[in-house]
Amino acid sequence: MNIQEIIAKKRDNKKLLKKEIDFFIQGYTKGEIADYQASALIMAIYINGMDEKEITDLTLAMVESGDKLNLSELGNVVDKHSTGGVGDKVTLILAPIIASLGIPVAKMSGRGLGYTGGTIDKLESIPGYNTNLSEQEFINNVKKIGISLIGQTLNLAPADKKIYALRDTTSTTESIPLIASSIMSKKIAAGANKIVLDVTYGSGAFMKTKEKATELANTMKKIGELAKIETAYVLTPMDEPLGRNVGNTLEVIEAVEALKGNIADDVKEVVLELGSYMIKLAGKGNNLENNKNMMLDNIYNGKALEKLKELVKNQNGDVTFIENTDKFKKAEFIYPVILTKDGKEVEGIISELRADEIGKLSVFLGAGRIKKEDKIEEEVGIQLNKKVGERVNKGEVVACIHANNKEKAEIAVEKLKNIYKLVDKNINT
Ligand code: URA
Could you read off the pLDDT of 273-298 as tens digits, one per residue?
Answer: 999 999 999 999 999 999 999 999 99
pTM: 0.91
Cβ(84) to ligand 1 under 6 A?
Answer: yes
CA 199 to ligand 1 centroid distance, Å? 11
**Residue 198: what pLDDT?**
96
CA 160 to ligand 1 centroid distance, Å? 9
CA 320 to ligand 1 centroid distance, Å? 34
Cβ(109) to ligand 1 under 6 A?
Answer: no
**Residue 424: what pLDDT?**
66
Q: Please choose from 109, 173, 179 the residue to mutate so as to test ligand 1's pocket, defined by most ligand atoms within 8 A of CB.
A: 179
Rounded-to-integer distance, Cα 429 and Cα 421, Å: 5
Q: Which atom of ligand 1 is nearest to the CA of 164?
A: 6
CA 179 to ligand 1 centroid distance, Å? 5
Residue bearing the CA closest to ligand 1, atom 6: 179
Does the annotation count 186 as an active-site position? yes
Distance of CA 85 to the CA centre of its chain: 5
Residue bearing the CA closest to ligand 1, atom 3: 183
Cβ(179) to ligand 1 under 6 A?
Answer: yes
Catalytic residue among 107, 122, 161, 167: 167
Catalytic residue among 22, 57, 121, 160: 160
Q: Please choose from 163, 176, 182, 187 the residue to mutate so as to test ligand 1's pocket, defined by most ligand atoms within 8 A of CB.
A: 182
Cβ(175) to ligand 1 under 6 A?
Answer: no
Cβ(157) to ligand 1 under 6 A?
Answer: no
Q: Which atom of ligand 1 is nearest to the CA of 84?
A: 8
Does the annotation count 402 as an active-site position? no
Residue bearing the CA closest to ligand 1, atom 2: 183
CA 163 to ligand 1 centroid distance, Å? 10
Cβ(85) to ligand 1 under 6 A?
Answer: no
CA 182 to ligand 1 centroid distance, Å? 6
What residue ranges of the chain have pLDDT lower than 70? Answer: 113, 372, 424-429
Does the annotation count 239 as an active-site position? no
